[in-house]
Amino acid sequence: MNEKIDHFDLNTIGSDFINDPFPTLKMLRDHDPVHRNKDGSYYLTRYEDVKTVYQERSMSSDKVVAFKEKFGQCPLYTHHTTSLIFNDPPYHTTVRKLLAGAFTPRKLTELEPLIEQIVDGLLDKLEDLKEFDFIDAFSKQLPTELISFMLGVPEEHRHKLRRFSMAILGALDPVVPEDRLKEGNDAVTEFGQLLDDLIEHRRKNPEGAGQGEILEALIFGEHDGRRLTQEELIQNCIFLLNAGHETTTSLVGNGTHILLTHRDQHKRLLDEPDLIAPAVEEFLRFQSPLQIGNRLLTKDMTFSGKTLKAGTYVHTSIGAANRDPEIFDNPDQVDIGRNPNRHLAFITGIHVCLGATLARIEGRIAIGRLVKRFPDLQLSGEVTIMGLARFRGFNRIDMRI
């Protein structure tokens, strides 16, 4: 087998892979789609295998054992092992049911005018600035505003959210240096205190909740006769705030960057604005904001002809699955009209992204209005990627209108 692939180990990847994982992912998918890492876990890169992992009900998302080894007893451990995403039924079902009420199509339709208003306000600011860091001035602003509004985070705290989420989510990377672990732990503690206060305040003043705010429903909602404890509330609100803005920031940042580096597609969207819906799907496929997932096998399973035993950890490459030529024609090309486009950016199965519809609405309104208002938008200087393996996006993109 290719020597590069023989030596590949997800737990020791470096900046080459992080900067551009796709050539390595292609080699893995072609030659070693069920790749064994040195710690005995496997990295799956074919679409059908990744989909099977997510559709199989017996797969476990519970990370108590894995995160005890990775983090030890610390705030990051408490946070991640209490979030619904890293739990199985019945706890997962309880939290998901309580959250789901806030994400019904009717509730999300009600949010659309607010999203349009936030986007137009941000576009006015871009017009004044003329030249700006797009991530800072635009792409992170909308999702931060929106999810803060939904959870009742006051204005004066909102600027801290991206720092918190980068620190907490960054600690999930396969390789995490000590200083990043400390930043992650500090972020959980500081964020937790802030939410503790907000939850206490809403508990005492339920009538003060604005329309569209969901905190009250999470505090007082019940499933199977049980309410969430204060710790469960805090950690799941932290998760929701992180999930709600980090990946959407990347969708808007990655999508706009794709357009500005694929001018034919940019022109196509200007000529046919109705392509914005399939364009957002293509951005999600081509540069998926969440690139890697994990599950634990609770029974023996076979992937691409290789049988893995119960108790094995598998890492799913969403990024590789979304460029599998068995499923997508010309997968390394951007086609904003691609149809069908059954990408796995939001995965599938019981943990399918709860905010997928909201993220799509945000992406369509933000990128659609941006492109229409500033047809001459262009890159103008520094472009810096986030530098994480699991989350794919930019820290900075200089642009001018």
CB of 360 to ligand HEM, least distance (A): 8
Instruction: Confirm or reject binding of residue 280 to ligand HEM (CB under 6 A).
Output: no
Instruction: Confirm or reject binding of residue 238 to ligand HEM (CB under 6 A).
Output: no
CA dist 392 and 390 (Å) reads: 7
- Per this entry, what is the length of the chain? 401
- When binding is defined by CB under 6 A, the residue of 195, 359, 377, 386 that contacts ligand HEM is 359
- The DSSP annotation for 18-30 comes to HH--HHHHHHHHH
Cα 94 → chain centroid: 22
Q: Are 165 and 242 in contact (CB under 8 A)?
A: yes
- When binding is defined by CB under 6 A, the residue of 21, 319, 331, 355 that contacts ligand HEM is 355
Helix axes 356-373, 276-286, angle to 10 degrees: 110
Nearer to ligand HEM, 100 or 270 (CB): 100
Binding mask 107-146 for ligand HEM (x = CB under 6 A): ----------------------------------------
Instruction: Confirm or reject binding of residue 289 to ligand HEM (CB under 6 A).
Output: yes
CA distances from 296 to 44, 53, 77, 257 (A): 13, 9, 18, 35
Instruction: Confirm or reject binding of residue 215 to ligand HEM (CB under 6 A).
Output: no
- Residue ranges in 258-277 that form contacts with ligand HEM under rule CB under 6 A: none
Instruction: Confirm or reject binding of residue 341 to ligand HEM (CB under 6 A).
Output: no
CA dist 137 and 372 (Å) reads: 18
- When binding is defined by CB under 6 A, the residue of 21, 244, 253, 368 that contacts ligand HEM is 244
Binding mask 84-103 for ligand HEM (x = CB under 6 A): xx----------x--x----
Instruction: Confirm or reject binding of residue 240 to ligand HEM (CB under 6 A).
Output: yes
What the block records as the tokens of 87 is 């739990």
CB of 261 to ligand HEM, least distance (A): 19
3-state helix/strand/coil string of 252-277: HHHHHHHHHHCHHHHHHHHHCHHHHH
Instruction: Confirm or reject binding of residue 221 to ligand HEM (CB under 6 A).
Output: no
Residue 89: cis peptide before it, omega within 30 degrees of 0: no
For residue 50, count other CB atoms closer than 10 A to its CB: 27
CB of 346 to ligand HEM, least distance (A): 5
CB of 187 to ligand HEM, least distance (A): 18
Nearer to ligand HEM, 338 or 351 (CB): 351
CB of 401 to ligand HEM, least distance (A): 24
How many chain residues touch ligand HEM (CB under 6 A)? 24
**Which strands sit side by side in the sheet containing 292-296, from one edge to the other?**
34-36, 42-44, 313-317, 292-296
The maximal CA–CA distance of the chain, rounded, in angstroms, is: 65
Nearer to ligand HEM, 107 or 182 (CB): 107
Nearer to ligand HEM, 109 or 205 (CB): 109
Instruction: Confirm or reject binding of residue 293 to ligand HEM (CB under 6 A).
Output: yes
Nearer to ligand HEM, 27 or 51 (CB): 51
Stretch that binds ligand HEM, among 11-19, 35-43, 128-136, 247-255 (CB under 6 A): 247-255
| Paired sense of beta strands 306-308 and 313-317, if any | unpaired
Nearest-CB residue for ligand HEM: 355
Instruction: Confirm or reject binding of residue 214 to ligand HEM (CB under 6 A).
Output: no
CA distances from 284 to 111, 219, 249, 347, 363 (A): 22, 33, 12, 11, 10
Stretch that binds ligand HEM, among 124-132, 209-217, 335-343, 344-352 (CB under 6 A): 344-352
Residue among 4, 9, 65 nearest 36 (CA): 9
CA dist 337 and 334 (Å) reads: 9
Nearer to ligand HEM, 122 or 147 (CB): 147
Ordered alpha helix ranges (H), 132-229: 134, 141-151, 155-158, 161-170, 178-204, 215-220
- When binding is defined by CB under 6 A, the residue of 50, 147, 308, 377 that contacts ligand HEM is 147
The contact set with ligand HEM (CB under 6 A) reads 61, 84-85, 96, 99, 147, 240, 243-244, 247-248, 251, 289-290, 293, 345-347, 351, 353-355, 358-359
